[in-house]
Amino acid sequence: MLKGIAKRLSRPWFVSLLRIGLGLVFIAASLDKIQNPQLFADNIANYRAIPYPLINPIAVTLPWVEFVAGSLLVMGIWSRANALILSGMLVLFSLAILQALLRNLDISCGCFSTDPEAHEMTRWTLYLNLIWLWWGISVALVDQGRYTAAGALAWARKRMRYQP
């Protein structure tokens, strides 16, 4: 039975759906942070886990890594590498959330919005991050490079050749 489920879950269309979904999630997560780097820097500072001089450089670069890796993932370019990048980031996010919860910090996670009032961080924030992490690792392990932007282009070119 488990084999059957695993077989179904590793079907190319399903894995591609996971890949595109993960990419879109990270693109969505990056947009507000890119727009408001100062607010995102405040969000990072609220975790009280990052040395002060590193806060701004991280606030500037991290959303762009999310955006670029997410976009490449949606297009199916270097899928494994990008899924690994996003999974690595999710490991760090999960650790940051875990330490904040253990220290009872009353802060917003800053995951999708830089508004400090946006979302109260609870253990569900951590669980959600772990689900994303599982998602990212699955893509990194089983993506077969199907349904990509390059594939779509090749298919379009092929069709154009047959329709002069």
Q: At 141, which amino acid appears?
A: L
> Which positions ≥6 away from 14 have C-beta within 8 Å?
8
Among 69, 90, 133, 142, binds another protein (CB under 8 A): 69
With binding defined as CB under 8 A, does residue 4 bind another protein? Answer: no
Of the candidate spans 8-16, 19-27, 77-85, 148-156, the one that interacts with another protein by CB under 8 A turns out to be: 77-85
With binding defined as CB under 8 A, does residue 28 bind another protein? Answer: no
Nearer to another protein, 11 or 99 (CB): 99
> Is there a contact between 73 and 20 (Cβ–Cβ < 8 Å)?
yes
> Is there a contact between 16 and 146 (Cβ–Cβ < 8 Å)?
yes
With binding defined as CB under 8 A, does residue 49 bind another protein? Answer: no
With binding defined as CB under 8 A, does residue 139 bind another protein? Answer: no
The rounded distance, in Å, linking the Cα atoms of 33 and 62 is 9
With binding defined as CB under 8 A, does residue 85 bind another protein? Answer: yes
